[in-house]
């Protein structure tokens, strides 16, 4: 599949072949830009770059070169616009190339980087014995979108989850389970959320003791909680069995969440597996002189990084999150051969990751420079921040049920389509897909560095900037082919090449938007922020809506009809690819 940009570079090299001192191909490519107005062409080259070599004013250079550019392949021609030489694409030929590329696989190949790496994307990281809430969905949405983007770019990707299944918070929950009035455990599928409520009760109990000034009671309860954690470490009963059982309840419910969201992991890590290796790694680098004692604790001095001492072992001998992350990073580098490591974790942990990466550098890991903290801001409720400890959360189960109910109600009252022949299974599957689309797009439509306000009513609007609208846009394209039938892509490509009337402003605008897909994926890889892809897909849906409104498809005469069907086809395929890369599965009808 040939790209218009490639054709333009070839044309520039042909007309500049005899110019001594002309820029090389890389410099020519870097200089190309999109003209400010559609009527000014599709790519512009600044002739300032040739002024010194040709000793001529740039406007004159542009005029002379324009006469030398011949219509050829994907290029319809070139015109001078002041000091710029602007190239015009043959819209039909470009469209035909897209159709062929989508059929023979060369389009997807064109999305891939020339320098693939082995990349691990660690995301989700839920804590057992706590509620999986709407805030966790942002992490899952960002992380899963990134691992899909990196795969589309041709990287060897490992999607990893890191479960917080160990530590004092687990002990708090088990203490409340033993001492609190918690009742009987609910049935399967609700136990994880129930444990999250119990954890919140434990936090409320500690807060009440603190606010009452009961220092003795607070110390006693904290000591009992610490005793439970020590018992689990030692494998003592009944706490070890209770821990394993309740941990599995949570893992099972997490699995249900991931299945509904269509999220898959290649490997899982657990905090509970890192405790002993954590002690060993601290001892190892203490012996090497990288770590050092400090007031009974062990630290890694990071003064050269202006990060102070990084605490890797407390004075009471316990490990910390940083210690476990050091062990995990070593495993990623040594066992998995990771060349780039992404950590999708909230922005409130920025300092932690700065210390982690600096400590890895001091430990001698050159790959520390290839570690990236993908920071994202919080998901907020209208009334403020969520807290598992205080029980002030909207659980995943509540979100899923509310979104599914809202989507179902909107579809029942939407009279644009007849669904009387739908089976119950098709209804449920479609509603679930739309619900997932609404949640994922709501989380991904804003930049990572911007807070998200969760608004179920706004996110389920079938006509707003929502996942539901995007699915509706693609379903409308599917409807065109249900009415008009699907012509063989090769025939559509041939018609596009011969459609002299094809290439009006709405058609060209949509086509140019689709051609930017590879650049958008490269941008997301570079910035590790999927918001650009979300915006591009929404822009594509809007561009198609304008094309569909202004350019009759099925009622047009041939070959224009087939050319517009070809444009509809590539829109369906490319926007569909983009949606799947966000983790959103299209539907054929709504």
Q: Considering all CA atoms of the chain, what is the largest pairwise distance in Å, rounded to the nearest integer? A: 91
Domain boundary among 51, 66, 89: 89
Higher-confidence residue of 580 and 399: namely 580
The percentage of the chain sitting over the pLDDT mark of 90, rounded to a whole number, equals 88
Res. 386: pLDDT tops 60: no
> What is the rounded radius of gyration, in angstroms, for the C-alpha atoms of the chain?
29
Residue 30 within any structural domain of the chain? yes
Residue 395 within any structural domain of the chain? no
- The pLDDT value given to residue 385: 64
- The pLDDT value given to residue 392: 64
Model pLDDT for residues 86-106, shown as the tens digit of each residue: 999 999 999 999 999 999 999
Distances (CA, A) of 458 to 145, 147, 437: 22, 27, 13
Across the range 183-211, mean pLDDT stands at: 92
User: How buried is 159 (Cβ within 10 angstroms: 0-12 exposed, 13-18 middle, 19+ buried)?
Assistant: buried
CATH number at residue 42: 3.30.1360.70
The percentage of the chain sitting over the pLDDT mark of 70, rounded to a whole number, equals 98
Res. 225: pLDDT tops 70: yes
Q: Annotate 484-505 with three-state secondary structure.
A: HCCCCHHHHHHHHHHCCCCCCH
- The pLDDT value given to residue 38: 86
Across the range 493-498, mean pLDDT stands at: 95
Residue 515 within any structural domain of the chain? yes
- The pLDDT value given to residue 390: 55
User: Tokens in use for 187?
Assistant: 């049935």
On the CB side of 555, CA atoms within 13 Å amount to 5
Beta strands in 422-534 (DSSP E): 452-453
- The pLDDT value given to residue 201: 94
Across the range 515-537, mean pLDDT stands at: 98
Across the range 263-283, mean pLDDT stands at: 97
Q: Are the C-beta atoms of 314 and 297 separated by less than 8 Å?
A: yes
- The pLDDT value given to residue 342: 99
| Confidence band for 415, pLDDT divided at 50, 70 and 90 | confident
Res. 73: pLDDT tops 80: yes
DSSP class per residue in 302-313: -GGGT--EEEEE
Across the range 255-264, mean pLDDT stands at: 97
The angle at the Cα of 574, spanning 568 to 579, to the nearest 5 degrees, equals: 120
State the Cα–Cα distance between residues 33 and 35, nearest whole angstrom: 6
Residue 432 within any structural domain of the chain? yes
Residue at token pair 């002379």: 64
State the Cα–Cα distance between residues 322 and 56, nearest whole angstrom: 62
| Confidence band for 37, pLDDT divided at 50, 70 and 90 | very high
Q: Annotate 55-117 with three-state secondary structure.
A: CCCHHHHHHHHHHHCCCECCEEEEEEECCEEEEEECHHHHHHHHHHHHHHCHHHHHCCCCCCC
State the Cα–Cα distance between residues 355 and 335, nearest whole angstrom: 23
Q: Are the C-beta atoms of 551 and 565 separated by less than 8 Å?
A: no
Res. 369: pLDDT tops 80: yes
Residue 231 within any structural domain of the chain? no
Across the range 547-564, mean pLDDT stands at: 97
Residue 245 within any structural domain of the chain? no
| Confidence band for 129, pLDDT divided at 50, 70 and 90 | very high
- The pLDDT value given to residue 135: 86
Question: What mean pLDDT is reported for the chain?
Answer: 95
Residue 477 within any structural domain of the chain? yes
Across the range 19-33, mean pLDDT stands at: 94
Across the range 241-245, mean pLDDT stands at: 96
**Spacing of C-alpha 287 from chain mean position:** 41
The mean-pLDDT minimum among 188-197, 231-240, 316-325, 570-579 falls in: 188-197
φ, ψ for residue 178, nearest 5 deg: -85, -35
Domains of the chain: total = 2
Res. 388: pLDDT tops 60: no
User: Tokens in use for 317?
Assistant: 């001998």
- The pLDDT value given to residue 90: 96
Res. 417: pLDDT tops 80: no
| Confidence band for 428, pLDDT divided at 50, 70 and 90 | very high
CATH number at residue 517: 1.10.730.10
User: Tokens in use for 161?
Assistant: 């989850």
Across the range 2-16, mean pLDDT stands at: 93
| Confidence band for 389, pLDDT divided at 50, 70 and 90 | low
Range of the domain at 529: 408-581
Res. 124: pLDDT tops 90: yes
Residue 131 within any structural domain of the chain? no
- The pLDDT value given to residue 100: 96
């Amino acid at each position: 599949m040939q790209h218009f940009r490639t054709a333009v570079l070839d044309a520039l090299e042909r007309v500049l072949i005899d110019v001594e001192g002309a820029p090389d191909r890389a410099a020519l490519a870097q200089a190309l830009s999109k003209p400010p107005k559609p009527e000014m062409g599709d790519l512009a080259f600044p002739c300032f770059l040739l002024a010194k070599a040709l000793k001529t004013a740039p406007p004159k250079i542009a005029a002379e070169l324009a006469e030398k550019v011949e219509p050829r392949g994907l290029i319809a021609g070139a015109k001078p616009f002041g000091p710029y030489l602007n190239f015009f694409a043959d819209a039909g030929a470009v469209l035909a190339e897209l159709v062929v590329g989508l059929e023979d696989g060369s389009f997807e190949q064109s999305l891939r980087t020339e320098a693939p790496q082995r990349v691990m994307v660690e995301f989700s990281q839920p804590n057992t014995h706590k509620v999986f809430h709407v805030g966790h969905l942002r992490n899952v949405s960002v992380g899963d979108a990134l691992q899909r983007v990196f795969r589309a770019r041709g990287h060897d990707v490992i999607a990893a989850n890191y479960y917080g299944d160990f530590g004092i918070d687990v002990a708090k929950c088990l203490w409340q389970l033993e001492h609190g009035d918690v009742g009987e455990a609910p049935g399967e599928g609700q136990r994880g959320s129930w444990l999250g409520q119990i954890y919140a009760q434990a936090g409320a109990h500690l807060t009440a003791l603190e606010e009452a000034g009961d220092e003795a009671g607070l110390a006693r309860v904290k000591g009992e909680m610490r005793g439970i954690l020590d018992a689990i470490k030692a494998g003592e009963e009944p706490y070890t069995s209770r821990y394993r059982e309740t941990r599995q309840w949570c893992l099972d419910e997490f699995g249900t969440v991931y299945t509904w969201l269509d999220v898959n992991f290649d490997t899982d890590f657990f905090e509970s597996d890192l405790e002993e290796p954590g002690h060993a790694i601290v001892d190892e680098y203490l012996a090497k002189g990288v770590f050092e004692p400090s007031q009974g604790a062990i630290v890694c001095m990071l003064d050269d990084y202006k990060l102070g001492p990084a605490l890797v072992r407390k004075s009471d001998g316990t490990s910390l999150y940083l210690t476990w992350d050091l062990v995990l990073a070593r495993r990623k580098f040594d066992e998995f051969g990771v060349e780039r490591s992404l950590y999708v974790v909230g922005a409130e942990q920025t300092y932690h990751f700065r210390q982690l990466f600096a400590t890895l550098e001091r430990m001698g890991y050159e790959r520390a420079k290839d570690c990236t903290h993908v920071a994202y801001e919080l998901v907020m409720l209208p009334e403020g921040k969520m807290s598992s400890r205080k029980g002030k959360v909207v659980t995943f189960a509540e979100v899923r049920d509310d979104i599914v109910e809202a989507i179902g109600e909107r579809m029942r009252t939407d009279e644009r389509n007849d669904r009387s022949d739908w089976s119950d299974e098709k209804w449920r599957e479609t509603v679930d897909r739309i619900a997932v689309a609404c949640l994922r797009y709501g989380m991904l439509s804003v930049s990572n560095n911007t807070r998200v306000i969760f608004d179920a009513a706004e996110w389920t609007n079938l006509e707003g900037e929502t996942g539901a609208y995007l699915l509706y846009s693609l379903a409308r394209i599917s409807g065109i082919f249900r009415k008009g039938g699907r012509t063989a892509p090769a025939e559509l490509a041939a018609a596009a090449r011969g459609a002299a009337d094809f290439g009006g402003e709405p058609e060209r605008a949509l086509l140019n938007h689709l051609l930017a897909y590879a650049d958008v994926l490269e941008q997301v890889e570079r910035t590790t922020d999927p918001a650009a892809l979300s915006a591009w897909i929404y822009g594509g849906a809007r561009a198609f809506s304008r094309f569909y409104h202004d350019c009759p498809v099925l009622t047009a005469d041939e070959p224009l009809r087939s050319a517009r069907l070809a444009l509809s086809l590539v829109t369906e395929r490319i926007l569909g690819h983009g949606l799947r890369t966000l983790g959103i599965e299209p539907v054929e009808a709504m």
